[in-house]
Amino acid sequence: MNEVQGRSDLPLAGVRVLDLSHYVSGPYCTRVMADQGADVIKIEHPDGDPVRLWPPFPPGGEAPSLLYTYLNYDKELVKLDISTPAGRDRVLELARESDVVVENYRPGTLDGWGIGWDALHQANPKLVLTSISNFGQNGPYRDYKAWDIVEDALGGLAYIHGDPTRQPLTHGNPQAQYRAGVVATSATIAALLNVDDEGEHVDISIMECITATLRDTIPQYTFMGAVRRRGTGGGGAITRCQDGWVIPSAYGADFGLFANFLEAPELADEKFATGDGRQRNAPELRAAMQNVLTRWTTMGFFEGAQMWGFGVGAVISPLQNLDNSQLKEREFFKEIEVRPGLTSPVPKGGIRI
269-298 residues in contact with other proteins (CB under 8 A) are none
Using CB under 8 A as the binding rule, whether residue 304 contacts other proteins is answered as no
Using CB under 8 A as the binding rule, whether residue 216 contacts other proteins is answered as yes
Using CB under 8 A as the binding rule, whether residue 59 contacts other proteins is answered as yes
Using CB under 8 A as the binding rule, whether residue 41 contacts other proteins is answered as no
Between the alpha carbon of residue 40 and those of residues 30, 99, 194, 279, 351, the distances in Å are: 7, 11, 21, 55, 19
Using CB under 8 A as the binding rule, whether residue 62 contacts other proteins is answered as no
**Chosen residue from 240, 271, 280, 295 binding other proteins by CB under 8 A:** 240
The nearer residue to other proteins, 85 or 172, going by C-beta atoms, is: 172
Using CB under 8 A as the binding rule, whether residue 34 contacts other proteins is answered as no
The nearer residue to other proteins, 65 or 80, going by C-beta atoms, is: 65
The contact mask relative to other proteins for 126-155 (x = CB under 8 A, - = no) is ---------xxxxxxx--xxxxxxxxxxxx
List, as one string, the DSSP characters of 301-321.
HHHHHHHTT---EEE--HHHH
Cα(44)–Cα(117) distance, integer angstroms: 20
- Classify each residue of 1-19 as buried b or exposed e, where b means 16 or more C-beta atoms within 10 Å of its C-beta: eeeeeeeeebebeebbbbb
Using CB under 8 A as the binding rule, whether residue 215 contacts other proteins is answered as yes
Minimum Å gap between C-beta 282 and other proteins is: 14
Total Cβ atoms within 10 A of residue 269: 16
Peptide bond preceding 64 in cis form (omega within 30 of 0)? yes
Peptide bond preceding 56 in cis form (omega within 30 of 0)? yes
Using CB under 8 A as the binding rule, whether residue 313 contacts other proteins is answered as yes
Using CB under 8 A as the binding rule, whether residue 109 contacts other proteins is answered as no
Using CB under 8 A as the binding rule, whether residue 230 contacts other proteins is answered as yes
